[in-house]
Structure 1
Amino acid sequence: MMAFCTSLLLLSLSLPLSSLCPLLECLHLHQAAAPLCCCSAVPQRALTLLSQADMKKAACRGFTALAAIVGSLLLLGAGGAAPAAAAATGSGRNNCTRSCGGIDISYPFGVEPGCYHAAWFNLTCDLSFRPPKLFLGDGTVQVLEISVPNGMVRINSSRLLYTVGAGASAASGPWGRGLPIGGPFFLSESRSSVALVGCGAQVQLRGGDDESLIASCAAVCPLDGDRRIVVESSGACAGVGCCQANIVLGYDSYNIQVNRLNASVYAEAAVYLVDQGISYADEVAGSVSGYFPEALPATLDWVINHTGCPSVYRDEVASECVSSSSRCVEAGNNVPNRGRRCACDIGYQGNPYIPDGCQDIDECMSPDIYPCHGICTNGLGNFICECRSGYYGNASAPDGCQDINECLSQEAHSCYGTCLNLPGTFHCQCPIGTNGNSSRKGGCVPIKNSSPGDKPFCEPITNSSPLNLFACTRYMNLNPQTFYLSVSGLGIGLGVSGGTSLLLLAFGAPFIIRKLKERKVQKMKEKYFNQNHGLLLQQMISHKADIGERMIITLRELEKATDNFDRSRVVGGGGHGVVFKGIIDLHVVAVKRSKIVVQREIDEFINEVAVLSQVNHRNVVKLLGCCLETEVPLLVYEFISNGTLYHHLHIEGPISLRWDDRIRIALEVARALSYLHSAASMPIFHRDIKSSNILLDDNLTAKVSDFGASRYIPIDQTGVTTAIQGTIGYLDPMYYYTGRLTDKSDVFSYGVLLIELLTRKKPFVYRSDGGDGIVSYFVSLLTKGKLFDIIDPQVIEEEDGEVQEVATLAAMCTKLKGEDRPTMREVEMTLENLLVKKKQVPWNTTSRKYGDDETTAHWMSSEQVSTEASRQYTIEEETLLSAR
């Protein structure tokens, strides 16, 4: 190596350092120990020159002759570096392997010496397999796909088996063996996840210099009556037998730890670092290794150089980016100082590491990727999308081009007669009684001593849209005859002779137009009915004929009830829709129009209708009907007049709902959930119990609302695996981690609601001084006997010894394991017994609204009524509640 450095030193004496230094970068000597050796051999004067900005920004282009000289020195003095020198040009050899086992190989990757950029990009094509298999480096990690433009390599990621037996609570091990230490590869930050396949186990993925927690998930396997594992057969990896969590920090190695969820149960699990969206279809019971593959696909990102781009500008050209129309980009989004890679400029695609590797994209040949609904013209690195002649607007959007009405500026379009606007063009003619050239000013002259002639004069019918009819009048011996033509037939119709058929068409045109409009409206209604799953809804409620008949409300009725959905009738919107105030049969109703933008939300709408159509309980909001005749489905609810529990509880000021009302509302919500879980025709799990989904009427009677996330559960099942839905702060942690929805998930949310009623804290934002959420902090204070440190001061003064019991019940409801929580029926009975024992005057549930008069409101009796200073509900504001 010293001889090699000496050769470079001698070369530096005869060549400007401004030429030599970029060459060193081109040869990628920064990846070995050579830079230190060579820099130590260069005089101090050279070190000063090496630090100049122009040296750093110099590229390898234009140094071909110099590269040949230094390449010879490398062959003589440092044989191991010869491949890098030969590959410096990007495609210096024609005998490089271009494919292995159907996988394309492009520079900077290569198999033979001289065909790859550096040793890290060396590949092995193992011909002993049929078909051959491609591997990174020495043949440990199998390659499935290489994408040079995207800086991506897909590999087969081997499973890691872990067994946690008696006397142990966890097992751990590394991932990343086979990848070069300090190499250019790291797990993709946008495509990767950690997956655990097993029972009663949790995986924790740690990485980085500080071994911080990056991802975690847990998998459970419920047991049936015979203590056998119940396996989710849908293939979803959602917490039953299999779980997965996305990885947002990409490293080349990780530490994996598997923990047992139950200390008394033997745990065996397989862990994969794989692409997101893993699924499985085999049974989980038994030995994991007997049912699951040894490896699954994973995606690696890579860099060409561990240093950043040459300047603060990310598009600065780096020495590796030899193609024109290429640029340098910083790699990685979440881990700093990852390194750099090359990419083609926008509008180009290909390989930026070889000369002319980036080629212009013909966007006009890929309308699915580059939509153009007009005239597409390809350019270098871009394309132009324009509306056709006679149109204006945005040609990239469907229906974005609008017809130009040339008749609004006749002179600009050289029309000095009567102008008829047509799609994409216009027709100009001389007025009746004139003749000549209508495109010239003064070109139309009166016809003397003659009739208007046989030439028809046409005018558009302004109210004929979308048919675009024209009324044309022909003068036959001074007797006018009128006939009607559409746009498509206008040109032909101008030359058609009059007669009886024209008279029939003239008299029948209005009738035809009306019938065509009615037919179009009816077809649209049928389309929307099918689009909104009308047939599915009919099937869901077919066994309740009276309900099905009562629920169907026509669009005409709702238009009348809401003044054609006038904007003045909009009273607000919630998470699932916009609400209009309306009156049907002298009753005020809330008309909810769902904000449906994806198929899943249409399913939620139908789900909400189906759920509420089966529910009849005084503490559950009543669904009056629905309309499927519009593009956006409509629901009609009973009108709930007095706000949500959230708004009453969290008003400004020290005084809120009285404690008597809070505990009664808690009981009413418990009754509703108990009914939904056990007394309804089919068990219903709400999934989103929270204070803003509890409506209050004028008597402060609670009504549970917003069933868009609810699920039916077959009567012979205790739960189901679903996509996670709910509100953070109220969400059951076991449901969140496993995806397993049971009645105990609602119990947890209800427990959080009890804590909210006791403390008047908002669960979704509250954090203690130590960073704990409201549930853990509340339970810790209860355990330490310091409960009143968090209880609402108003409750402390108004309660009569029952707070401790309610707090204990809330703690029971929010236990980590679902099986340790009570049922809603048990909760209901506990609260009923508590209220029976409570010694106080009977409740007066007349309408109450709370104000900021602290002295009066604090001591007011149950018969007193105060006004709410911070929130006065008008009838419009009250209708808003149905959206939540």
Structure 2
Amino acid sequence: MPIRLIMLVVLVLLLLLAMGCRCSTSGARTTAAAHAQAKPDCPNRCGDVEISYPFGTRPGCFLNEEFLITCNDTHFKPPKPFLTKSSIEVVNISIDGHLNVLQYTAKDCYNAKGYSVDSNLPSITLSKFTVSNTENRFVVIGCDSYAYVRGYLGENRYRAGCMSLCDSFDFVTNGSCIGTGCCQIEIPRGLKGLEVEASSFNNHENVSSFNPCTYAFVVDESQFHFTPSYLAVGGIPEKFPVVLDWEITTIEICEEAKICGLNASCDKPKDNTTTSSGYHCKCNKGYEGNPYLSDGCHDVNECEDPSLNNCTHICDNIPGSYTCRCRKGFRGDGRKDGGGCTRNQYTVIKVALGVGISFVVAIMSISWLHFLWTRRRHMKLKEKFFEQNGGSILQQELSKLQGRSSEKAKIFTEEEIKTVTNNYADMIGCGGSGLVYKGFLSNKTPVAVKKSKIVDQTKMDEFINELVVVSQINRRNVVRLLGCCLETQVPLLVYEFVGNGTLFEQIHKKGNLSCERRLRIAAETAGVLSYLHSEINVPIIHRDVKSANILLDENYTPKVSDFGASKLVPTDATQNCTVVQGTLGYVDPEYLQTFMLTDKSDVYSFGVVLLELLTGKMALLSDKPEEERSLAMNFLCSLKHNRLLEILDHRIVNDGNKQQLKVVAELAARCISVRGEERPTMKEVALELQGRLSLMSNGQYYLRDNVESNGAQETDYFTSTFYECRDGIGSHTTPTGGYDSMQQLKLMAFDDGR
């Protein structure tokens, strides 16, 4: 965890401890409205409608006959509730004094000839309940229409009407009910009973095409929105919702009747008139539930809802209310609308001092713990990488070399590598396999630090092998391995710094090597391979000889590098390999066929490098057809047809050294023979090249005995021994016949990415 994040968390915790938090000592809160509003042991639902007391569906469950609900489950699935006294369908019961019911729509319809085809006169009879004047409106719909609503106000009969006219459907406006297509009026207070009559002035003769009917109904205004589609036949619902008002009526005084339950009180309507002599029950302040049940009102826990209390610190719930108080160290009434809470001066100083000291101690402790944790984690990680990268094995192998090598490779620590490379500041190489950084040892010796881009644990044995092999070599023409670092995720190798690039770059990119310099590079490289094959206790086969693995210093002295694929092979022994390693174009075809690794495999690869020096061409010729891409095949074919000078690099050919180059070409041809037994040893190659180099340095360009006179014959001898050209395409031939090295290269050779 980052130190800044830890500090922030600690600071927040300390501030919370210092300031305290708002808390409550009350018990569990009761829901705003009890789910069961019916009397105990009574049905509380009929279909989708909740039945709340004083309403009920069976004896003992309702207050009186006015509140009896019939639950009809015979004709309706699910069941539907009806107000028994009036046979009106009930859709909702509210204990605040409202009853939502459905009432039929009155209609008066005519055909195109003006004859009545359909009419009705819906009505409801109410003994105690009234039609709500605040929730409902009387509505008439039509373009040749008027209608009446009738009822009783006390003992007096009431009648009111409304008319709606329009000559065209275009005059009707959606949502507008002001007399054009739709008319509405208010309902008087206390209306008992309801009868609606719909009529027409001219039997809809002039508007029958779009409005053949008059419709009239009383409706809950919150549930009605006029649309012109209502003017058409069948465009209007059969029933509309209506809101009724109900109340408790008794000859006794409200409080004496004891209709209201515990923690509830009588509520006389503020707008009571002679048409209403009843009352409602309501829960007292601080309580909620059904006030008509004996224990229906329950205490509200105001402390659990910040919007219900005004406390600043601590809220304590009490029956029907709450109290506020301040936390320890504060004083005041603890109310937002009062004096609130203020901290005692002494407490402020003490808390501030305590918070400051605690904060400093916490930060110091966490910083120290974080430092120790990070350091320990880093050490564990370095130990893990050291073992993962074969550190223990390498130490054991290097210890075996005591006395066998003048200088052993050093195992560097991660901190030492960062110091050497100035924290990886100078990157001098970036390839597909990794990065190379330049650095300086403490004695100012320049070094190259090689860092692979990826970790391949399957090749860790090759990595350890390269270290062990190179540690045994102390030769001027071998890149000196100074040490390695195994404490990083990717192992790092520290080599001597060779700053003039690779032989591959000099041949194929710069191309400024003279003939003598090329011969010198070939001779010294051959000398290194000869040393590896025959002059150390346990011979070493490089297995990946190529121009890219030969580095050049500022004096163009070659230095062989990359021993990751090398093998230690006892004298006069061969190595049987399950996996062929090497680079396409340089791999020994006999090694590809038999999987038997010998020192002659390096001879073949060196022969290809020698061809690169002679021709200036790459081992695989990308500009040739696929079957002609092998430089070795093209060279041998040119040699057989006496076209050697055509394939040689014109930059090194002159009249004085043509014969010398032919001799070197003959040597290269023998090196790339398909059969390993026909190839010379690296010692023989090194001696031959050193002799050629001496002659060239002394200005003597003669050939061996009879070479000039019999050159064509000897060339034919060599090529006929191991090579044949067919139709201009070269292919190797073995005594067993028919072995096509190009096809084998396609199937078996691969580039290991070095």
- Shorter-chain TM band: 0.3 to 0.5
Structure number with higher relative contact order (C-alpha < 8 Å, ≥ 6 residues apart): 2
Structure with higher Rg: it is 2
